[in-house]
Chains A and B, each alone.
Chain A
Amino acid sequence: MRVRLNTELLGGLFGMALAAIFYFNRGNVGFLSAVFPNTVLAILGVLSAVLILRGLIAGEPTTLSLEGTGSVLFGIAVMALWWIGIKYVGFVTTSVPLFAALALVMKRRAGPLAPRDYLIALAVALVVVGGFFWVFTEVLGIRPFRAPLL
């Protein structure tokens, strides 16, 4: 499936929204801290407005393919779960199943999965996650994540 988007208009709206978010959160800071961001916000607003105008007047829609959007959303969900898992469960215990799940979902797009694929994915996940965790904590001396499990 494909959609036609006016990327200039949308890009301008994104810039304007960002400028508005920052503008309404300026807080009460002094001249020295405010003068530069205020100038940048003004420039951001002007550039966004020009893009919006150009998008409205002469914007040529760009065709974007929506193929694979499901995989992207799944990937974003996995990343969010990964972060929550690292924080509240443990790095290795979260990373191994999510690594395997992500690999299997991506492989499934090429064809049906065999039982062997699950085992391989799990084995690779264990080796990669365990290996890098060991390197970072034991070799590089990075303090491990503070979570209930490993």
Chain B
Amino acid sequence: MDVLIAAALAVMQPHMLLIVLLGVTAGLFVGALPGLTATMALALMLPFTFAMDALEGLVALGAVYMGTIYGGAFTAILINTPGTPSSIATTFDGHPMAKQGRALEAISIATIASVVGGVVGVTFLLLAAPPLAQLALKFGPSEMFWVAILGLTLIGSLATGSVLKGLLGGAIGLIIGTIGISPIGGETRFTFGWVPLQAGISLIVALIGLFVIPELLSMMRQGRAAIDTTTGLGDGGFRFGTALRTVFAKPVNLIRSCVVGQIIAIIPGAGGSITSLVAYNEAKRGSDDPDSFGKGNPEGLVASESSNNVMVAGSMVPLLTLGIPGAPPDAVILGVMLLHGLRPGLDLFAETGVLANGFIMSMGLAALMLIPVGLLGGRLIYQVIMRTPHYFLVPTILVITMLGTYALRNNLVDVALMLGLGVVGFGIRGLGLDAAPIVLGLILGTIAEQGYVQTILGGMAMDIPQLRLLENTLSQILIVLTVAVIGWTAWPKSRRRKD
């Protein structure tokens, strides 16, 4: 309890509140710009945290994350273009409401649902993370190896259209992660005669390169034209009271959406757009009037926005307990933790409890700040997103990425690697290879390698030391889960093909 009080006091400092406010506002603007994802927003904000201490940096990124996911709802409602992939389901009913002249009411509903989702996610994280971190202590090298493989399989299967391509992406990430010094043997590998590669490929460099640069090249290719601005905000006002009653009028829908969001969020790698789409689908299935979905039913809007904001804190559960990002933006937060020498797991809560709990509480604060920032800044954001020309947006982001990547280690080689990875990432995107499994492979490479090599060392007396990986019950459960994930995602496709 003392730790929780100390954490609450730490995040209630005026400068922390200011960081949360600025983070939510910045996230809101970035999230409201179509094409800029939450991962990109966090990667862009990353260099600004270098001058901060660990808690300030994490609080800033948590606030940006919360703001970005909520900000995606603005364009989804106003111009039928999801600002972030997690707002796809928001367009289904949010935009029809805007077309009916209820844009501001839809924004109010999205705001309240987002706040509820955010607070629910943070509460769960606060309660569940320490015991889950305790449970993570039972994981030895073999189990950690299989957890890494399960995480890779999940994101490989769910984030891309093809299981095989997803797994291939994960394997590519794993092999890229072996560049540099071996974590167990200590020898230098795969430097291709280039000395700077001895330090390996920085996670942040790969994140910025693989997530931001392909988006920029994609914007250049599309030469995105001006977006449809005919809808406007409507003249009905925010109708905050009506919106409040609408959100809580169907408590089952709200609770179900939060539960769905929470369950999906704690599965490593499964977050993002999937959460809101599943919650929307469940809301439609459970509604008395499913035919009105897609025509401006606020229930759909509540389901989408509450679930995707539950996901923000929910996806931190695997990150903070096992070091496995629940969703791609969490990888950036992991990067900041590693930069400050913080390792996820029980030690994070036992030795730096104020920091870990303070970070979690700050996300709750960020969720609450969505109300003033979203409602007061709503009109301004609308004007900004309507007037920001993409031809200035792209070079501006390029400037930030160049400076940010250089600032990591004051090294221009990192900038070259970031640009190179970005161009490759853009090319392979055309082949259906997604960046998310590659980055997750890079993140999980060290965990997987340590688990793999340590387990094999323990089994050297066996004829095939690798068999040691299959020995204990927990490992076997994880193997079954991994196989089940592959089967579950591959099976319906083969059946569909037969049909």
A-side residues, CB < 8 A to B, are 5, 7-8, 10-12, 14-15, 18-19, 22, 25-27, 29-37, 39-41, 43-44, 47-48, 50-51, 54, 62, 64, 67-69, 71-72, 74-76, 79-80, 82-83, 86-87, 91, 95, 98-99, 102-104, 106-107, 109-110, 124-125, 128-129, 132-133, 136, 139-143, 145
Contact = CB atoms under 8 A, between A and B. Distances in A.
A108 to B, nearest CB: 9
Contacts of B396: 99, 128
A103 B392 contact: yes
Nearest to A43: B171
B15 interface: no
Interface stretch (B72-80, B128-136, B216-224): B216-224
17 contacts: A11-B431, A14-B431, A22-B175, A32-B185, A32-B453, A32-B457, A39-B452, A51-B165, A71-B220, A79-B422, A98-B395, A103-B394, A106-B394, A109-B223, A136-B47, A140-B47, A145-B406
A25 B192 contact: yes
A-B pairs, top 8 by smallest CB distance, nearest first, are A33-B185, A32-B185, A68-B221, A33-B182, A106-B391, A109-B223, A33-B187, A99-B395
Contacts of A33: 182, 184-187, 189
A35 B456 contact: yes
A72 B221 contact: yes
A132 B45 CA distance: 12
A140 B406 contact: no
Contacts of A48: 168
Interface residues of B, number: 65
B223 A62 contact: no
Given A22-B175, A68-B222, A106-B391, 14 more contacts: A8-B164, A8-B432, A11-B428, A14-B433, A19-B175, A25-B192, A27-B189, A34-B185, A40-B171, A67-B221, A68-B223, A72-B217, A104-B391, A106-B220
B-side binding surface: helix, strand, loop or mixed? Answer: helix
Contact of B168 (A36, A51, A87, A133): A51
Contact of A128 (B48, B226, B395, B432): B395
Contacts of A104: 391
B36 to A, nearest CB: 16
A80 B395 contact: no
A22 B390 CA distance: 39
Contacts of A40: 171, 174-175, 178
B51 interface: yes
A-side binding surface: helix, strand, loop or mixed? Answer: helix
A32 B403 contact: no
B187 A99 contact: no
Contacts, number: 189
Contacts of A124: 392
Interface of B: 47-48, 50-51, 162, 164-165, 167-168, 171-172, 174-175, 178, 182, 184-190, 192, 213, 216-217, 220-223, 225-226, 389-392, 394-396, 398-400, 402-403, 406-407, 410, 412, 415-416, 419, 422-423, 426, 428, 430-433, 448-449, 452-453, 456-457
Given A7-B432, A14-B431, A68-B222, A140 B398 contact: no
B129 to A, nearest CB: 30
B394 A102 contact: yes
B395 A103 contact: yes
Given A29-B187, A44-B171, A69 B221 contact: yes
Nearest to A27: B189
B168 A47 contact: yes
Contacts of A145: 406, 412
A64 B83 CA distance: 24
Contacts of B162: 8
Contact of B431 (A7, A29, A39, A80): A7
